[in-house]
Amino acid sequence: MPSISERGLNMPASPIRKLVPFAEKARSEGKKIYHLNIGQPDIETPPEMLQAVKDADIKVLEYSHSAGFESYRKGLVGYYQQFGIEVSHEEILITTGGSEAALFGLMSCLDDGDEIIIPEPFYANYNGFAIAGKINIKPINSTIETAFALPPISDFENMITEETKAIMICNPNNPTGYLYSKEELEQLREIVLKHDLFLFADEVYREFAYDGREHTSVLTLEGLENHAVVIDSISKRYSACGARVGALVTKNKAVYSAALKFAQARLSPPTLAQIAAEAGLKVGKDYFDAVKEEYVERRNLVVEALNNMDGVICPSPGGAFYTIARLPIDDADAFCQWLLESFEYKGQTVMLAPATGFYATPGSGRHEVRIAYVLNKEELANAMECLAEALKVYPGQVNMLEPIMATYS
Amino acid sequence: MPSISERGLNMPASPIRKLVPFAEKARSEGKKIYHLNIGQPDIETPPEMLQAVKDADIKVLEYSHSAGFESYRKGLVGYYQQFGIEVSHEEILITTGGSEAALFGLMSCLDDGDEIIIPEPFYANYNGFAIAGKINIKPINSTIETAFALPPISDFENMITEETKAIMICNPNNPTGYLYSKEELEQLREIVLKHDLFLFADEVYREFAYDGREHTSVLTLEGLENHAVVIDSISKRYSACGARVGALVTKNKAVYSAALKFAQARLSPPTLAQIAAEAGLKVGKDYFDAVKEEYVERRNLVVEALNNMDGVICPSPGGAFYTIARLPIDDADAFCQWLLESFEYKGQTVMLAPATGFYATPGSGRHEVRIAYVLNKEELANAMECLAEALKVYPGQVNMLEPIMATYS
């Protein structure tokens, strides 16, 4: 039998999805599962987006332009302007989800053996795109003690080598929910200019900035025209994860042109979903205000409930719809599996994502889980009650904070 | 300014799409262009597929399973059975078009520096997926003199090295239209077993086998359970190129499991398009019979017209909807550009794909073009008339076959 590739072997299973078989078993046993493991919101997709697909008079479901509908790209120019981002439609490449934007961006800028620095914990799927291209991710630890703020810029300086080609952030952050400040971004601006690096920013949660704070795009930072590459998506913006429409946005013409060649090789992004995405451009401020208000209430509920549990630490994140909590447990992977396999409370349990999969440094995140607050408040309250009960009876409890802290020293 | 990656630089522009700017200019000047450069058929997508999307009651446009809808995969089991292909739904991975199936398949089986042997001319986008993974494509020349039949198996033997991991074919072939016989496939079966290689087969044109001949899938070849990896798509089957729904099909569990990890990293294939694809399973034999009859008539029209032109050679292909013609021209790239820039006949011109982009061997295909017979017969007849006129006045004519043949020696 021929052997598969090293990269196929090295590819990690998704930490968000790898417990799915245990969840399927739990469900088949009649347990109700609260899915806080995946960023699949219950918020309704704006109906006008789905209606646009129904109204489309299509005889032949054709390829679109490899860069996506020109009309949609022109519409996006106005969308970005609302955020102070000035780009032309020829600087926007429509992709099949933000995932493909990350893949094309990395492939266009980095070769095998090149290094990209990413604060950890980070969105686990970046590993997949890096492994596909044999690109080395160099993690810099951000910690729950600082609510996962940008690590000191000296940590980045120390990590830069001849092989370093880029720094990447996700802002607001998945999995931590941290919203980087303008000041933090200015620090990144300086270091990428100093070392002539690319600055990738995954900004798919742009709309989800809370407590009156504003999101800053790397595309608005002065002098970064040739350095900034933005990964974008409509998945979270409109609760339209299944559409698979994203975008790569950059003013660097060489990067755009290389990414377009990768885009041509896969022909085009999905046509039906682009119709929905284009209709989404007309979705008004009211929708986003209501969604944001809902998420802030959910965040407050979850963060308060977590911090009320014995031995649990959870910072209050400024954006996105995730939070990382440190729990008094021996092993997050074992705990999350145990929740599905061996625990129930009033016929219910909770599915969480072990944080280990979001760290590149072995051993990190062993006492942490990522929680996506993507369910309604009633369900979230039930889920938190479930989790509180679970922590009381979990056999692998670690009683106090000391032994956990030891692992961080 | 940071420099882009080598692979970004090395990535070839799509030979099918690179002339688009010239076409746009010609159109803006009022020329009618017959698009024979791209496999975008004018055949209508079965209306029940689009109706299924309209009828879907979707409140939240959610991610699907990373391997695609389970119901759709189960339905595909029956689809494949019609062709004598016995697979379970857990051996089918739904992808975003055949393109992604090729990418995941190559990434799962080959590392950077590994070699894959492909008869040339071949579908140009394979280059893109190979370059992304720094996989080396080793071409073996197939020739117009044999109508692009499988090259002698000794050519494959001679090409195999320590680095060779796979052989890949497209059957029926894009760009040549050649339909490999059972006997040819048996030869490939023997050599991949002998050297323990993967055998990739792009079978997206499975339905398009003409003249009463049957398509043979590599999945039906004995003993290839762990070697055969099929790339599939609904793009051509239902004239639904814009859906972006394909599949990777393999009985090799390690390959499937690696491909699934790549699939998890990009979350899921497009949801709306999967609804259309699943509805497509009910499309009956009548549809395919009518489509096949139409394509045979188109092929006959085009091949006859081409062979009636002075100095033109065009074999009659047994499948797909492409043909490669050798023209009495100095340079296919220059000719195809000239057709758009400098030629018109009754206000019309033709857009063709220069065959050079389908060859990996430099200099090959310089006198050949790929023609996709994807327009109705009236338009095809006009396009052929246009082409005949163009060949009469093209300044870079090569008068007789001798000088062309010299380049093949």
Work out the average pLDDT over A377-388. Answer: 98
Residue A407 pLDDT greater than 70, yes or no: no
Give pLDDT tens digits for A5-53: 999 999 888 777 779 889 999 999 999 999 999 888 999 999 999 999 9
What pLDDT score does B15 carry? 75
Give pLDDT tens digits for B17-46: 779 889 999 999 999 999 999 888 999 999
Q: Would you state the structure tokens that stand for residue B241, as one six-digit string? A: 């190129």
Q: Which candidate, B234, B314, B336, places its Cα nearest to that of B16?
A: B336
CA distance B102 to B125: 9
CA distance A80 to A73: 11
pTM equals 0.95
The minimal CB distance from A267 to the residues B7, B97, B111 is found for B97
Choose, out of B27, B261, B274, the residue to mutate when testing the contact with A (most A CBs < 10 Å).
B261
Work out the average pLDDT over A105-127. Answer: 96
Tell me the shortest Cα–Cα distance from A297 to chain B, in angstroms: 20
Q: Which 3 state secondary structure label does DSSP give B194?
A: helix
Taking CB atoms and an 8 Å cutoff, what residues of chain B touch A165? 2, 5
Extents of the domains making up chain A: 6-44+286-408, 47-280
Taking CB atoms and an 8 Å cutoff, what residues of chain B touch A38? 63
CATH number corresponding to A6-44+286-408: 3.90.1150.10
Tell me the shortest Cα–Cα distance from A97 to chain B, in angstroms: 8
Give pLDDT tens digits for B39-68: 889 999 999 999 999 999 999 999 999 999
| Cis ω before B354 (30° cut-off from 0) | no
The minimal CB distance from B264 to the residues A17, A103, A270 is found for A17
The minimal CB distance from A107 to the residues B8, B99, B242 is found for B8
Q: Which candidate, B64, B137, B130, places its Cα nearest to that of B94?
A: B64
Give pLDDT tens digits for A274-309: 999 999 999 999 999 999 999 999 999 999 999 999
Task: Let me know: does B177 contact B322? Beta carbons within 8 Å.
Answer: yes
Taking CB atoms and an 8 Å cutoff, what residues of chain B touch A9? 258
Choose, out of A99, A267, A358, the residue to mutate when testing the contact with B (most B CBs < 10 Å).
A267
CA distance B379 to A288: 49
Taking CB atoms and an 8 Å cutoff, what residues of chain B touch A4? 108-109, 252, 254-255, 258
State whether ipTM is beyond 0.90. yes
- Fold designation for A47-280: Aspartate Aminotransferase; domain 2 (3.40.640)
CB contact under 8 A, B96 and A266: yes
Residue B401 pLDDT greater than 70, yes or no: no
Mean pLDDT of chain A: 95
What pLDDT score does B220 carry? 98
What pLDDT score does A39 carry? 86
- String of DSSP letters for A300-329: HHHHHHHHTSTT-B----SBTTEEEEE-SB
CA distance A231 to A108: 13
Beta-bridge mates of residue A198: A166
